[in-house]
Every structure is written in C-alpha cells, then in structure tokens.
C-alpha cells in the first residue's frame, strides 16, 4: 500500500538564509513557478514580518500559484501572524506556519520564558492563525534537544487548538537517524490526539545527517519532509529535496511523493544560478559527477550493464545521460566508445597505438575533451585544413558596430561583413557569414595575462554549433583580435571533426 509523503519546500525561506544567497522578488517568483511545475506540495515563500520585500514576495507568489499550497513563517506572536495572513490573503491554498522554541537552552537564554508560558504562547498563536487560515502548522523549534514529555504536552495542546501539521525540527543538526526515528515514534505513541495531525520533520545538516534523519523520521511515521533545493539553508544547510525524493523513489517505493523527478536537474541549476551558490561536483543526484564515470573498471561495467554502477537513471532526474569522463583512469573500452560516438571507426591494431597516446596525454591533463581525441586522430592522419585570420576591421558608432573579416582556407581568401551590438559581436557574426557556420557563445571570458597599458588579454570561450560545443582560447594585445582567434579555434575544431568523421583509421 502506497503512503503519501508531502514535500514541503523551504528554498525561498530557509534556503535564502544561506550566506550570500539573497534572492530578488522576481527571482523568487520564477523559482516558485518552477517548484509548482515540479509538483512540490507546499512552498514556504518567506517570513512575512521579516521585511517589506519578503511580504511582497509572498503576496505576489500567492496570487499566481494554483496547484500548490503557499506558506509563510510566523513566530508565535500576534504581529507575525497578522503579517503572514496579510501576505497570504490572495492564495488559493494557504498555510500559516507558526513556531516557538521548546528546548531548555532556548527557553532559558533566548525566550526567557517558563514551560507554561511557552505552551500558552503556542496555543494562542495556533488559535489566532486558525482565525485567518484553515491550515496551520506548528513547529517546536529545537525539538531534538527538548524534553520528550514536554514535547508531548505542547504538541497535544496545539493540536487541540487547531494545528493540523506538527513539525519536529532538528534545528541545529544535532540528532542522528536512530534517535530521530525513535523521537517520531515516541510522539505518535504518546500524544493522545496525534492521529488528528500530520507529523513533519525539518532537519539541518550540521553533522551531514539531514537526509538520513529525515528518512528515518518518514519510516517512523512522519508524513511531511521540509527540505530545500540543493540543500541550501542556514549554516550547513537543510535536507536536500533531490536527495529526499530520489532516496524515497529508489529505496522506499511504498513512500510516494507527487514530485516530477525529471524536473529536478533543471530546478537545481536554476536555483544555483540565481543564488550564485555552485553545486559541488560530487553532490548527490545533481552534482556534475553524480552520473560520471572515469575509472576503467566502472566504465567497462557500465558498458555491459548500467545497473552495475548506477542505482538510478540520469534521465529520471532530468539529466541527458551517463557521462564517461576520459582521464588517466579510463580504459580502452571507454576510449573506443568515445571514438564511436565521434564517428571514428578505429581498427583494433590502431586502437592500441591511440590508447598509448591517450594515456600520455591523460597524464598531463586532468580531463580529456572531444577535441583532444580529435587532435589525436588528426595527428595520426596528418590532416589539418581550418580557417586562418588574415585581416579585420571594426567601425563603431553610437547605434552599433560593423565588422569586416578576411579569412583564408585551402589557399583561398574570403571576406565577410556583419553588424552587431558591439565590436566583438559584429566581427564574430562576420566570421559566420564567411564560414557559413552559425554558432552561439555559451561562455565568454577575458582576463589580462600581462601588465601595463599594452597588456595581453586572454579570451576563453565555448561555442555551440547545433548540438556540438567546442572551446577556444587565444591571446593578443587587441581583445577583438583575441576574440576572433578564439572563435576560429572553436570553429576549426568543428571543421576538423566534420573532415575526419566516419573515416576509418
């Protein structure tokens, strides 16, 4: 029998509290729309009382969300709850999430309140929230360091006051899986009216246990998990949405979420881009290396049966496929596969020689790219016939630029011109008119590699020609010239590949 688990996303509230991860209102709305498309159940859109911008963001998100519950956090204080209610007034499905600390250290030093005062404040907050909203969630802040009997007492009273969701946070990431599971079980068994509420967990990752603690809680009976995209959040962050959802899918299929997992990679990339917080390469599920294999033994196993080294399909999280990273640990099978992908039919006796050259190159480079493989083939065949820059001119006016470029190829000279937004844009478009190859810059950077007024600038770029992406780099005291040369470097790799493809080596 399937058991539904609610996914409560707090990327826009707790996730934004990551140092340096501040989001603008338009960015929050874009992320909220994507979370709704991904089919999370609840979006905690912010903390309404915390700032005018948070209030407006919650209000704006509330007005456009149709298929998701929008939530605002509020302390167990009248002004917080009123602000949350105001921000959520336009929501089709809304929830007020009110909280107060319940651990001895918080009550004594932060709140300076007695247990009875904390219970009274919690009950008042829930009752007031219910006047504005049918769906009220109550959180016992720092629950995992709280007295269990006191937790039972306060939880029972807030449920009686109208709280339909009870959240048990591991606020400082102190718990461990066995302990977390036992705490949820204890509350479900000892709170008399526990059957009238959904129990939830919100785990922080200070000891790297947020996902494990959340899963343990679910197995013990919790039916909501609070999490963030990419595990963003205070200090070491929260349980990562992508880890929770995929762990349930892979290991506990009886625990069902409604999340569209194929949207995970896209949303992860969007959140990373907007917050400026890069996802570490070895991050579970969405890291660049999550479905990448370099070791020869692993690559050989993957070629024979994907399940030998992958417990989920990359397509299931929205990643195009497994990556075979060519490096010094790769074997002949991986090199042969890459050659076939590039369209080269390499005979066995030649493969051994290419593999030797490949290994020598891999000892010098950390990662081997397609163009490196093509260069090895080219070296073996002795072919090269690319575009060469002969001359260029740029005329710039306030209304735009016009570039004229002369290139040489195969003993012939060609000249083309084009208009653009600036000098670099115009000369690269002129190159396209000559080559007949339309490319799209996917990355472009300039840096000085010498000092002084006549310093040389280095241009690095990547250009996409259809589905093929090539890198180019060049330097010159003239940035426009360096840009053309770097672009030609990428273009010539495309030409080289077209020339050599499907050739028997």
Q: What is the pLDDT of residues 224-268, one digit of tens each?
A: 999 999 999 999 999 999 999 999 999 999 999 999 999 999 999
Task: For the chain, state the CA radius of gyration.
Answer: 29
Q: How many CB atoms lie within 10 A of CB 420?
A: 18
For the ranges 109-123, 187-201, 433-447, the lowest mean pLDDT is seen at 433-447
Answer yes or no: are the C-beta atoms of 126 and 98 closer than 8 Å.
Answer: yes
If 0-12 CB within 10 Å is exposed, 13-18 middle and 19+ buried, where does residue 341 land? Answer: exposed
How many residues does the structure list for the chain? 505
Q: How many CB atoms lie within 10 A of CB 332?
A: 17
CA angle, corner 491, sides to 488 and 494, nearest 5?
Answer: 150
270: left (phi over 0), alpha (psi -120 to 50) or beta: alpha
On the question of pLDDT at 214 being above 60, the answer is yes
Question: In this predicted structure, what is the pLDDT of residue 382?
Answer: 46
On the question of pLDDT at 2 being above 80, the answer is no
Candidates 3.40.50.300, 1.10.340.30, 3.30.160.270, 3.30.70.1230; CATH matching 388-500: 3.30.160.270
Domain boundaries, the chain: 3-275, 292-381, 388-500
Q: What is the mean pLDDT of residues 177-204?
A: 98
Q: What is the mean pLDDT of residues 338-359?
A: 76
Question: In this predicted structure, what is the pLDDT of residue 314?
Answer: 87
Mean pLDDT, rounded, of the chain: 89
Question: In this predicted structure, what is the pLDDT of residue 297?
Answer: 64
Q: What is the mean pLDDT of residues 377-404?
A: 80
Percent above pLDDT 70 for the chain: 90
311 — pLDDT class (breaks 50, 70, 90): confident
Q: What is the mean pLDDT of residues 196-218?
A: 98
Candidates 1.20.990.10, 1.10.579.10, 3.40.50.10470, 3.20.20.70; CATH matching 3-275: 3.20.20.70
Give me the helices (H) in 324-389, please.
332-342, 348-364, 370-381
If 0-12 CB within 10 Å is exposed, 13-18 middle and 19+ buried, where does residue 421 land? Answer: exposed
For the ranges 272-286, 293-307, 402-416, the lowest mean pLDDT is seen at 293-307
* Residue pointed to by tokens 């707090």: 10
Question: In this predicted structure, what is the pLDDT of residue 503?
Answer: 44
On the question of pLDDT at 453 being above 60, the answer is no
Give pLDDT tens digits for 122-152. Answer: 999 999 999 999 999 999 999 999 999 999 9
Answer yes or no: are the C-beta atoms of 61 and 28 closer than 8 Å.
Answer: yes
For residues 181 and 423, give the distance between their C-alpha atoms in angstroms, rounded to a whole number. Answer: 63
For residues 42 and 49, give the distance between their C-alpha atoms in angstroms, rounded to a whole number. Answer: 19
93 — pLDDT class (breaks 50, 70, 90): very high
For the ranges 15-19, 212-216, 334-338, the lowest mean pLDDT is seen at 334-338
Give me the helices (H) in 133-281, please.
148-161, 177-190, 210-220, 241-251, 264-275
Give pLDDT tens digits for 476-496. Answer: 888 999 999 989 988 887 776
What is residue 261's DSSP assignment?
Answer: G
451 — pLDDT class (breaks 50, 70, 90): low
Which residues, listed in sequence order, are joined to residue 448 by a DSSP beta bridge?
Answer: 457
80 — pLDDT class (breaks 50, 70, 90): very high
9 — pLDDT class (breaks 50, 70, 90): very high
For residues 226 and 408, give the distance between their C-alpha atoms in angstroms, rounded to a whole number. Answer: 61
For residues 32 and 496, give the distance between their C-alpha atoms in angstroms, rounded to a whole number. Answer: 44
For the ranges 37-51, 269-283, 324-338, 413-427, the lowest mean pLDDT is seen at 324-338
On the question of pLDDT at 505 being above 80, the answer is no
More confident residue, 489 or 30: 30
Percent above pLDDT 90 for the chain: 64
Give the distance, in angstroms, between the CA of residue 112 and the centroid of all CA atoms in the same chain.
40
DSSP β-ladder status, 457-465 and 440-448: antiparallel
Give the strand order in the sheet containing 388-397: 388-397, 400-409, 412-420
């Amino acid at each position: 029998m399937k058991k539904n688990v609610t996914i409560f996303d707090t990327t826009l509230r707790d996730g934004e509290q990551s140092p340096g991860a501040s989001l603008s209102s338009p960015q929050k709305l874009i992320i909220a729309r994507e979370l709704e498309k991904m089919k999370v159940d609840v979006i905690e859109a912010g903390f309404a009382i915390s700032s005018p911008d948070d209030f407006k963001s919650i209000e704006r998100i509330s007005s456009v969300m149709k298929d998701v519950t929008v939530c605002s956090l509020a302390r167990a204080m009248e002004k917080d709850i009123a602000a949350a209610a105001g921000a959520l007034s336009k929501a089709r499905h809304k929830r007020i999430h009110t909280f107060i600390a319940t651990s001895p250290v918080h009550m004594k030093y932060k709140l300076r309140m007695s247990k009875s005062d904390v219970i009274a404040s919690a009950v008042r907050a829930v009752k007031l929230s219910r006047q504005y909203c049918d769906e009220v969630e109550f959180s016992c802040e720092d629950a995992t360091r709280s007295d269990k009997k006191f937790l039972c007492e306060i939880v029972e009273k807030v449920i009686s006051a109208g709280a339909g969701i009870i959240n048990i946070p591991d606020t400082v990431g102190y718990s461990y899986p066995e302990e977390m599971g036992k705490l949820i079980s204890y509350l479900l068994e000892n709170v008399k009216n526990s059957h009238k509420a959904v129990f939830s967990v919100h785990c922080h990752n200070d000891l790297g246990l947020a996902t494990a603690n959340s899963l343990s809680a679910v197995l013990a009976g919790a039916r909501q998990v609070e999490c963030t995209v990419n595990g963003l959040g205070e200090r070491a962050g929260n349980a990562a949405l992508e880890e929770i959802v995929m762990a349930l899918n892979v290991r506990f299929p009886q625990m069902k979420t409604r999340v569209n997992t194929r949207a995970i990679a896209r949303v992860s990339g969007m959140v990373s881009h907007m917050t400026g917080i890069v996802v570490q390469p070895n991050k579970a599920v969405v890291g660049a290396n999550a479905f990448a294999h370099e070791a020869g033994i692993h690559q050989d196993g993957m070629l024979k049966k994907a399940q030998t080294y992958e417990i989920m399909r990359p397509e299931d999280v929205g990643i195009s496929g497994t990556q075979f990273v060519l490096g010094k640990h790769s074997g002949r099978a991986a090199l042969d596969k890459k050659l076939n992908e590039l369209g080269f039919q390499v005979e066995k006796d030649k493969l051994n020689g290419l593999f030797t050259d490949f290994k020598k190159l891999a000892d010098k480079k950390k990662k081997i790219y397609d163009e490196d493989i093509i260069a090895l083939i080219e070296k073996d065949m002795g072919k090269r016939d690319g575009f060469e820059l002969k001359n260029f001119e740029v005329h710039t006016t306030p209304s735009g630029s016009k570039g004229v470029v002369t290139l040489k190829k195969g003993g012939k000279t060609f000249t083309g011109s084009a208009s653009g937004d600036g000098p670099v844009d115009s000369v690269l478009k002129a190159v396209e008119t000559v080559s007949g190859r339309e490319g799209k810059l996917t990355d472009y950077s300039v840096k000085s590699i010498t000092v002084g007024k006549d310093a040389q600038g280095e241009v690095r770029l990547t250009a996409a020609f259809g589905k093929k992406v090539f890198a180019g780099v060049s330097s010159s005291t003239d940035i426009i010239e360096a840009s053309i040369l770097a672009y030609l470097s990428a273009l010539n790799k495309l030409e080289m590949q077209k020339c050599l493809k499907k050739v028997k080596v």
